[in-house]
Amino acid sequence: MSRDIFRFRLLGDRSCLDMETAFRLTSPFLKPFSNKPTKEDVTMSDDINRRTQETAARLFGKGIKMEPPYQMWRQFDKELANDLSRHITGNLYSRTVLTIQERQYAACAMLASLRATAEFKLHVNAALNVGCDPRKITEIIFQVSTYAGMPAVNEALEAYREVLKERGEWPIAPIK
């Protein structure tokens, strides 16, 4: 009778393990699988949904009118779009290790460096929505020059100016 064999390295030794032995060794660590959600699962899911909605409202609830990427994702796969939104907005953006402002400064720097203009506009608007200082955003964009070059800075500044104009916040108040 043939058996499926798993080959693996264990401390530099070549060993093999048949399915029966592998199951016997790992089964004490496996939880029984059920498609039925537990009460804890439902409560956790409700909490993530609430955080997702609250965080999305803070970030994207005002300012320029743009269709968020979430709407495009939904056109392709509604369930996956919901999962991605819960992960990004409900889990990552609602964490408290960084403030929501610090997360937006980081997002703006990364998106400017990547020259991801549409996503940058969405996040620079969100940064302003959550109280990020417009002068600090400008400084962060200029800092990008060291790592991504002046073309990335120029594209980000142009996009930033468009967002500020649409919000009625251009020009930025000078430093006093």
Percentage of the chain beyond pLDDT 90 is: 68
Question: Is the pLDDT assigned to residue 10 strictly greater than 50?
Answer: no
Q: What is the pLDDT of residues 79-135, one digit of tens each?
A: 999 999 999 999 999 999 999 999 999 999 999 999 999 999 999 999 999 999 999
Domains (range + CATH), the chain: 39-167 (1.20.1290.10)
Alpha-helical regions (H) of the chain: 19-26, 39-60, 69-76, 78-85, 100-114, 117-129, 134-143, 145-148, 150-167
Judging by beta carbons within 10 Å of its beta carbon (0-12, 13-18, 19+), is residue 114 exposed, middle or buried?
A: middle
Q: What is the pLDDT of residues 21-39, one digit of tens each?
A: 665 666 566 555 566 777 7
pLDDT value of position 34 = 61
Apex 142 CA angle, 136 and 148, nearest 5: 130
Q: In Å, what is the CA distance from 82 to each residue of 50, 52, 64?
A: 13, 10, 23
pLDDT value of position 27 = 59
Q: Which two tokens stand for residue 156?
A: 């980000």
**What is the C-alpha separation between 160 and 106, in angstroms, rounded?**
15
